[in-house]
Amino acid sequence: MLNKAQGTSSPAGAELVAQLRDIVGHPHILTEDGATLPYRRGFRFGEGRALAVVMPGSLVEQWRVLQACVKAGVIVIMQAANTGLTGGSTPDGNSYDRDIVIVHSMRMRKIHLIGGGKQVVCLPGATLDQLENMLKPIGREPHSVIGSSCIGASVFGGVSNNSGGALVRRGPAYTDMALFAQVSATGELQLVNHLGIELGSDPEEILRRAEQGEFPDSSINWQAGRGHDDDYATHVRDVDADTPARYNADLRRLHEGAGCAGKLGLFAVRLDTFEAEKNPVVFYIGTNGTDVLEDVRRHILSSFSELPIAGEYLHRDAFNIAEKYGKDTFVIIRLIGTKRLPALFAMKNAFDRLAGRLGFLPKHFSDRCMQLLSHFFPQHLPARMRDFRDRFEHHLMLKVSASGAQEAREFLQSHFATHEGDFFECTPDEGSKAFLHRFAAAGAAIRYRDIHTDTTENIVALDVALRRNDRNWFEVLPQDIEDEIIVKLYYGHFLCHVMHQDYVVRKGYDCMALEHRMLPLLDRRGARYPAEHNFGHLYSAPDDVLAHYRQLDPCNCFNPGIGQATKRRNWVAESVG
């Protein structure tokens, strides 16, 4: 069946495509090169071939698609919004031993509230933004807010990759409860209902009921399992532990759908929701001493009676780059909110594809236009934040609940009476802007690269979990590595010791070689990586994680090659040379 040319297939491949077309309908299967490219190319990394992209419109259709693919012996890559940063939901090159079918699930966007909204059951195409907006009227929140939701990321993407987020008490996305398809060692496709909801015994009956939300109270087992990592708030407080608080290779948080990295065919996940905080207070902290911030972190985690909501770090260089190259993102969100941002990202991507086909427009044309327009926007950052930027190298935004504000206020007053640095209590508008500026920093390096293509090679982006007891948390690079970098952007979830480190590499230097020189430095510090973006095709997964993937997918037919494992059927080792 294998044929490397896009848009063509062997007779067996053509037969499978015809079967899939009968299942989902002609408009919902793509085979031509140009049409499949947005699904074969990752958001930031990765691209490969595919026999077809198929878009089921119901859970039953997805089940029938998987049945046909498994029977035909092809590889299945389950894909939702395709917003991952490590290429984990797209093919990787052309070195596969079977044809690939990408099952794109974004037509199935239903979310069902259960228990008065204290829990939700999400289907494959449900997005974080959709979930956030559904919960807002009832005063509740999902696991993560203003992060990947703004680019249209899916709920399944977060769960499948144990994605983290900025909210300290909630830990990485996790659930014990899922409805999924799994292929046995003998090649048999099985439907497994571990949602904790009685839905019958026939697979298609189960799936129809799940899709329609037919969940009478008598069918729901409220002791079926955890809908989030309810131990994390205790775990993160152990500031003397010699291990990171959260990272993708942590076996404690790998269970069936949670952390499956696409090695299962997920149909539904059941998750906890959280009561929304009312009138939170934000403190903006600045210092030139990394030890000062670490003392703040250790005291907060070990001594505060109530954990903060979030504690976000931003280095001065990241502040400056985000101020200039994240300004349009900041202004757009302030003007229209996050609800319409996924649609704007989709429009931008469609425009970029059109511009690429036209040929005469410069590369990254939309980014260049947005950057030019941003020069005409008024100053968007509060004066007190800009003053702290001038005075201090290291910045921490601490968000606490109204009930915890006085404890935080008294500690910061006492601490900075005897330590270098300062803080101020934000107005609600300043607090909103501070956290939005921190969010804008996440895309600033990409914009900088796209605008300065003549001087930049690319970006090395590391997603690092530091040990909870690591006092020397701020990275110091050898000079030979520094010489190859234009600017470094350090930002992250400081209380969890999870750091995002983006390096804009000078033109002419090998980014992959540079990254390989950096990783041993992290190893010597006892850091783990990736922290929350998962392995994809960029990182090598450790043996115990690969063993977990093999247990989930013994035939290696779902998303092979993840964690730089073999792409071959039944996990057969790939030949060298």
Answer for the pair 309, 400: CB distance below 8 angstroms, yes or no: yes
Answer for the pair 247, 465: CB distance below 8 angstroms, yes or no: yes
Collect the ranges in the chain with pLDDT lower than 50: 3-8, 149, 577
What is the 3-state secondary structure of 75-136?
Answer: EEEEECCCCCCCCCCCCCECCCCCCEEEEECCCCCCEEEEHHHCEEEECCCCEHHHHHHHHH
Distance of alpha carbon 434 from alpha carbon 384, whole angstroms: 10
Domain boundaries, the chain: 111-275, 281-453
Answer for the pair 162, 189: CB distance below 8 angstroms, yes or no: no
Q: What local confidence, expressed as pLDDT, does residue 544 receive?
A: 96
Q: Which amino acid appears at position 294 of this protein?
A: E
Q: Which amino acid appears at position 27 of this protein?
A: P
Residue 84 labeled ligand binder: yes
pLDDT tens figures, 96-124: 999 999 999 999 999 999 999 999 999 99
Q: What local confidence, expressed as pLDDT, does residue 1 receive?
A: 57
Residue 89 labeled ligand binder: yes
Residue 451: what are its φ and ψ, rounded to 5°? -85, -35
115: left (phi over 0), alpha (psi -120 to 50) or beta: left
Q: What local confidence, expressed as pLDDT, does residue 431 receive?
A: 96
Residue 7 labeled ligand binder: no
* Domain 281-453, architecture per CATH: 2-Layer Sandwich (3.30)
pLDDT tens figures, 352-379: 777 777 777 778 888 888 889 888 999 9
- Residue length of the chain: 577
Q: What local confidence, expressed as pLDDT, does residue 4 receive?
A: 43
Residue 82 labeled ligand binder: yes
The residues near 214 (Cβ < 8 Å, ≥ 6 apart) are 199
CA distances from 531 to 484, 497, 502 (A): 25, 10, 14
Residue 158 labeled ligand binder: no
Answer for the pair 192, 265: CB distance below 8 angstroms, yes or no: no
CA distances from 115 to 51, 120, 175, 270, 273 (A): 42, 8, 16, 12, 10
Residue 88 labeled ligand binder: yes
Answer for the pair 462, 422: CB distance below 8 angstroms, yes or no: no
Residue 533: what are its φ and ψ, rounded to 5°? -100, -5
Residue 421 labeled ligand binder: no
Torsion of CA 250, 255, 259, 265, to 10 degrees: 160
Tokens coding 142: 């999902």
What number does CATH give the domain 111-275?
Answer: 3.30.465.10
Q: What local confidence, expressed as pLDDT, does residue 341 receive?
A: 66
Q: What local confidence, expressed as pLDDT, does residue 149 receive?
A: 46
